[in-house]
Structure 1
Amino acid sequence: MDHAELTFRPISGPQELDLFCQLTYGLDHELADDLATGRRRPEWLWVALRGGELVARAAWWGRAEEPVPFLLDFFDVEDVTIGARLLRTATAEILPAGTRPPVYNRIIPVDWREKAATRSVVEDRMAALEQNGAHLLAERLRFEWRPGIPVAPPRNRLVFRKIRDENEILDLMTRVLNGTLDAHSRDDLTRMSAREAAIRHYQDELAHYRSPRDWWRVATLPDGTPVGFVTPARNDYHPVIGYLAVLPEHRGNGYIEDILAEGTRILAAEQVPRIRAATDLGNVPMANAFRRAGYVNFERTITMSWP
């Protein structure tokens, strides 16, 4: 059939979720609640139809109080060209002219490169995004800790205390950007100062955690000198190790393991069913620390962004 028979449109409401889910993804079960809570809106869920058949779909995620979405996280295509057209059409309707598109983030299997069929699906989605000007920002490892996995006892090299206030966490977040291995932060630093990047990260993520900030910890030497910090938290879906970092002057001493263990202990004491965490494929020290702490790499993510 010819492409003229294609229809590109947003869904009309929750009653069309069955249509939207004719193509599948592991997060499909979250869509109804996301729509009910305002994290998604019908006008942010788009479909490409040939007759009544779904041939591509895209969905953005955001926050109820914000007018534009924060993230593109659903994008499934049966044909690269149709997927690219759907994305181009939907983006023009959803975003104000001149707005930089939100990043694309997609959960994929750990072994996605090893299976030809899976690799083809991932690469087709990436190709459709590249036709719309996106480029690969990072591949990330997703980790999970489960109850019953031992947590390392304190080694008494560091002292842990609560974060004093917002200014302190912003100061620490600014300082750790020096030499960071995180691709998102490095990308931010091409557009803004370290302080601006820290504020943006805080406002986009940490400020929205549902859990008490009393859980956050600064790690110090016995004399009170800050070494790093960790923000164990609950996001909209899971308990998480939200941000963990060591200050540049203290890297290379193994403190990352002590700080991760402290964050894990805080969440484990809350009887959580799991703890989720993630780090870039290229951040080998952080990935190794998660593995040594008993976290299992159960998925990966692909993140793409626009200039």
Structure 2
Amino acid sequence: MFDDFPEPARSQLVSAFEEGRTRPEWCFVDGRARLAFWAPFPGAEPVITWQFEPGPDPEVASRLLRRGLATLKLTKIIHDIALPPGLTPVVDRAVEHEALLGAGFALEVERLMLEWRAGSDLPEEPGRLRYRPARDLGEAEVLDVLIRISEGSLDHDTRVELATSGAEHEARWMFDDLMSRKAKPGWFVIGYAGDSPVGLVAPDDHSIAYIGVVPEHRGHGYVDDLLAHGTRTLAEAGVERVVAATDVANTPTAAAFLRAGYAEVGRLHRYYWRA
């Protein structure tokens, strides 16, 4: 089935298959429309339409999406369209947009795509926190921090998951995702003020995958400390381009990235399908 996809998609699918993140039976083709689903870590259910080439006909692409969702008996799925600032999928990716709506997807969230590049000023670490690698801690301790960070979160996905699946389920999924990332063992850390956990930052091989502060420590600028630590970790490892994303509505986190020297490079338009 991977052979039905042109390069570079075919090679990406083969690589993802070898990592346990996609399967041939998660791929579908209808004429010039192609679709592949993707899971964030081995053993997880597919959560996103990773490779979606709608072709010229939105009705054919909608039919392909519906077939894929029904065949895999999925209950929810995400599709992202990334565009430069000022563009909109309604106009600039019209066929894809119409195909998604025709298959029952809804455009719910707009996210800032952010980037820090080598040569830019590095954010300073104030030295207020000491850091411990998450892999050196007990699983229960890391899960507890993730559960506490989710309380009062402004992130759309987190709020939806809390409402539908609960904080413990969301924390477990996030834990498994972050532990599966391509990162050195000491990169994913929890920051402490004294003996009190303040929050965490989880860089992977090229991005700030997750960052958050527990409720009792919010309002003191600790997100800046955590982000500075995560960015410097990647920069010192030789990463020349660090990417991140956050909901447009999550203005405190967006402001922290801009203070840290990140620039907005685009908008990610996120569509959701739920059974």
TM-score by length of 2: 0.86
Cα distance in 2 between the residues matched to 1:225 and 1:69: 36
Sequence identity of aligned pairs in percent?
33
Cα distance in 2 between the residues matched to 1:228 and 1:72: 31
The 1:165–1:137 alpha-carbon spacing in structure 2 relative to 1, beyond 3 Å, is farther
Q: Deviations over 1:261-306 (max 9, x none)?
A: 0111111111113212111111111111111111122222222223
Tell me which residue corresponds to 1:229. 200
Name which of 115, 121, 124 aligns with 1:150: 121
Instruction: Report the AA paired with residue 34 of structure 1.
Output: L
Of stretches 104-113 and 257-266 in structure 1, the one that deviates more from structure 2 is 104-113
Note the aligned Cα RMSD (angstroms): 2.4
Tell me which residue corresponds to 1:193. 166
The 1:202–1:120 alpha-carbon spacing in structure 2 relative to 1, beyond 3 Å, is same
Name which of 157, 169, 182 aligns with 1:210: 182
The 1:13–1:29 alpha-carbon spacing in structure 2 relative to 1, beyond 3 Å, is closer
Cα distance in 2 between the residues matched to 1:137 and 1:246: 25
Deviation at 1:136, TM superposition (A): 2.6
Cα distance in 1 between the residues matched to 2:189 and 2:45: 32
CA contact (8 A) 1:162 1:215 kept: yes
Q: In the alignment, does 2:37 pair up with 1:60? A: yes
SS in 2 for 1:306: strand
Tell me which residue corresponds to 1:88. 66
Tell me which residue corresponds to 1:126. 97
CA contact (8 A) 1:228 1:244 kept: yes
Structure 1 or 2, whichever has the larger Rg, is 1
SS in 1 for 2:159: helix
TM-score by length of 1: 0.78
The 1:275–1:194 alpha-carbon spacing in structure 2 relative to 1, beyond 3 Å, is same
Name which of 28, 38, 57 aligns with 1:46: 28
Q: In the alignment, does 2:42 pair up with 1:70? A: no
Q: Deviations over 1:113-165 (max 9, x none)?
A: 3xxxx642435433332332322332211212111111122223333333323
Deviation at 1:226, TM superposition (A): 1.8
SS in 1 for 2:8: helix
The 1:207–1:17 alpha-carbon spacing in structure 2 relative to 1, beyond 3 Å, is same
CA contact (8 A) 1:37 1:64 kept: no
SS in 1 for 2:168: helix
Q: Which runs of 5+ in 2 are unaligned?
A: none
Deviation at 1:77, TM superposition (A): 4.4
SS in 1 for 2:109: strand
Q: Which runs of 5+ in 1 are unaligned?
A: 1-11, 19-27
Name which of 166, 172, 180 aligns with 2:145: 172
- Tell me: higher relative CO, structure 1 or 2? Use CA pairs within 8 A at least 6 residues apart: 2
CA contact (8 A) 2:123 2:261 kept: no
SS in 1 for 2:204: strand
SS in 1 for 2:128: coil
CA contact (8 A) 1:60 1:71 kept: yes
Q: Deviations over 1:86-138 (max 9, x none)?
A: 21123333x03xx314222232222213xxxx642435433332332322332
Deviation at 1:184, TM superposition (A): 0.6
